[in-house]
């Protein structure tokens, strides 16, 4: 039974009536380009075959009733006339915030009954929250026939996280969930909100490895990193680090703190690497992609300081197996979460075996491995 069928079944069981529609939005993995999105830079994510499904029906009143199968089978209900933050059921704030932002654009939105289920590992850095938000927006757009496109949906999802949930995230997660293309990653310009599909080589898969180092993005140092980046941009009088070159940064090194300098150096160099990986994928140049992904990981480790010893160990273990036949790096916000490899299919089992043999011994933790393909976004037609 696939995820959509599960959502439909949960709806029937919970509400004793069939649903009207089922909508789905994928999670994502970021191939390269971390902590560049909120600096107006470039990212290269792919939508993956893990996501969130919502079975839904319209209501005659102004209430939203949500059953969340994966959140201890909890139910939350609220009125569209008075959407308040819920301190007790934190998951429900993604629904509340997303609908509040949708209401600003489409005041005619009415009530709905929802049953939600998903298989994106939560807290792993694969963006279960953006998948949830985009699935909600797709559901309400479908129920109420709203003229909502993928870029608008991504912006509304980002606003929900920034203004309601309280996480100062960029636009990447929502936009790839909305607009991903099957068999492709996507080079996204986070300032212009333009994108270009980046072909995943035939015979390659994403191997996503959850380090099982737990992290909470809202509570982590994520917002501190953002403040440090903004401080450097302000020092140079530019809108964002996107507008700086490494040469400009180096010329002012003496007038910046060491931490500020290294944070900015990561972002600027990561933008260059991300654009270079697009060209490598278009040219099927796996060796160059491999070097760029490893350089990205080392920059995130040394300059941005968001990896962990366990994540570093996973990257080392995978790199020993794939060499220059594929690439590997940490992915997501960091401070725990996942490592990604873009690897030839014939090396997937050797990667799994190496992780199984070495990771627990080196870290005291057991990793979860997900083999993924690049899939279609919720709003991409």
Residue 189 designated active-site:
no
Q: Are 198 and 185 in contact (CB under 8 A)?
A: yes
Q: How far apart are the first and last CA of the chain?
A: 24
**CA torsion, ordered 118, 377, 159, 38, to nearest 10 deg:** 110
Q: Are 127 and 177 in contact (CB under 8 A)?
A: yes
CA dist 51 and 73 (Å) reads 18
Q: Are 204 and 326 in contact (CB under 8 A)?
A: yes
The catalytically annotated residue of 34, 37, 173, 303 is 173
Q: Are 378 and 25 in contact (CB under 8 A)?
A: yes
Q: Are 153 and 240 in contact (CB under 8 A)?
A: no
CA dist 176 and 376 (Å) reads 9
Tokens of 247: 């040469």
- CA angle, 110 then 114 then 118, to 5°: 135
Radius of gyration of the chain (CA): 21
Task: Convert 271-297 to b/e letters by CB count within 10 Å (16 or more is b).
Answer: bebbbbbbebbeeebbebbbbbbbbbb
- Within 13 Å of residue 380, how many CA atoms lie on the same side as its CB? 20
Question: Which strands make up the sheet holding 338-344, listed edge to edge?
Answer: 327-331, 338-344, 204-210, 368-372
Q: Which residues have a catalytic role annotated?
A: 173
């Amino acid at each position: 039974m696939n995820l959509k069928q599960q959502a439909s079944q949960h709806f029937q069981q919970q509400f004793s009536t069939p649903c009207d529609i089922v909508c789905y939005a994928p999670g994502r993995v970021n191939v390269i380009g971390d902590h560049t999105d909120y600096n107006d830079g470039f990212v290269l994510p792919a939508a993956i075959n893990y996501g969130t499904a919502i079975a839904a029906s319209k209501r005659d009143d102004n209430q939203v009733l949500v059953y969340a199968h994966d959140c201890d089978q909890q139910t939350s209900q609220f009125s569209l006339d008075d959407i308040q933050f819920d301190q007790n059921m934190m998951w429900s704030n993604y629904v509340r915030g997303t609908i509040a932002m949708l209401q600003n654009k489409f005041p005619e939105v009415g009530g709905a009954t929802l049953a939600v289920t998903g298989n994106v590992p939560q807290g792993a850095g694969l963006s279960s929250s953006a998948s949830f938000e985009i699935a909600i927006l797709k559901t309400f757009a479908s129920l109420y026939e709203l003229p909502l496109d993928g870029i608008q949906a991504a912006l509304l999802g980002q606003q929900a996280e920034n203004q309601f949930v309280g996480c100062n995230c960029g636009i990447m997660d929502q936009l790839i969930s909305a607009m991903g293309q099957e068999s492709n990653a996507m080079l996204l310009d986070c300032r212009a909100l333009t994108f270009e599909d980046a072909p995943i080589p035939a015979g390659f898969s994403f191997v996503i490895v959850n380090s099982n180092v737990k992290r909470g993005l809202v509570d982590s140092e994520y917002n501190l990193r953002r403040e440090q980046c903004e401080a450097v941009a302000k020092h140079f009088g530019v809108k964002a680090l996107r507008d700086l070159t490494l040469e400009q940064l180096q010329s002012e090194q003496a007038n910046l703190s060491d931490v500020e300098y290294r944070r900015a150096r990561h972002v600027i160099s990561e933008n260059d690497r991300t654009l270079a990986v697009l060209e490598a994928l278009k040219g099927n140049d796996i060796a160059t992609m491999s070097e760029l992904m490893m350089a990205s990981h080392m920059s995130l480790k040394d300059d941005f300081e968001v990896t962990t010893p366990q994540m570093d160990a996973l990257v080392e273990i995978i790199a020993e197996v794939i060499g220059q036949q594929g690439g590997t790096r940490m992915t997501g916000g960091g401070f725990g979460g996942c490592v990604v490899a873009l690897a030839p299919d014939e090396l997937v089992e050797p990667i799994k075996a190496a992780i199984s043999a070495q990771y627990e011994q080196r870290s005291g933790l057991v990793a979860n491995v997900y083999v993924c393909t690049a899939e279609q976004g919720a709003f991409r037609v």
